[in-house]
């Protein structure tokens, strides 16, 4: 499994489409392996879901994301969890892996 998270200023971005980087990590035996901070392509509808699909990401954890983007991710076979708190990506991934991730409301309104 590979997990991707939008990041701004070192923490999970509250607005998916305006993030600076994407944290992408492989999960092997329940642990983070080979984490990377990647620069996404310019924000255009449908570009980032396709790009993360090419990186073999299977799960996206996001603070806020539009419903159209969620649908595109699902079409590419990726699961999306919305309302993730603004924290370090490693912390969010470990909380997800430990079953303690608390997600809230989508911070994006489109």
Taking residue 60's Cβ as centre, other Cβ atoms within 10 Å add up to 27
* CA–CA separation, 71 and 8 (whole Å): 23
Q: Give me 60's structure tokens.
A: 């996206």
Q: Give me 36's structure tokens.
A: 């990377």
Q: Give me 15's structure tokens.
A: 């607005």
pLDDT tens string 44-61: 878 899 999 999 999 999
> Does some domain include residue 70?
yes
> Does some domain include residue 28?
yes
Structural domain range at position 75: 2-79
What pLDDT is stored for residue 78 in this prediction? 95
Give start and end residues of each alpha helix (H) in 1-110.
Answer: 47-54, 67-75, 89-98
**What CATH number should be reported for the domain holding residue 10?**
3.30.420.130
Whole-prediction pTM value? 0.91
């Amino acid at each position: 499994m590979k997990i991707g998270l939008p990041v701004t200023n070192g923490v999970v971005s509250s607005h998916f489409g305006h993030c600076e980087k994407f944290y992408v990590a492989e999960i092997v035996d329940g642990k983070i392996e080979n984490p990377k901070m990647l620069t996404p392509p310019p924000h255009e509808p449908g570009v980032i879901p396709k790009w993360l699909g090419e990186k073999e990401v299977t799960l996206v954890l996001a603070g806020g994301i539009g419903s159209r983007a969620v649908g595109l991710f699902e079409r590419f076979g990726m699961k999306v969890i919305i309302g993730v708190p603004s924290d370090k990506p490693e912390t969010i991934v470990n909380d997800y892996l430990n079953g303690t991730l608390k997600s809230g409301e989508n911070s994006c309104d489109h």
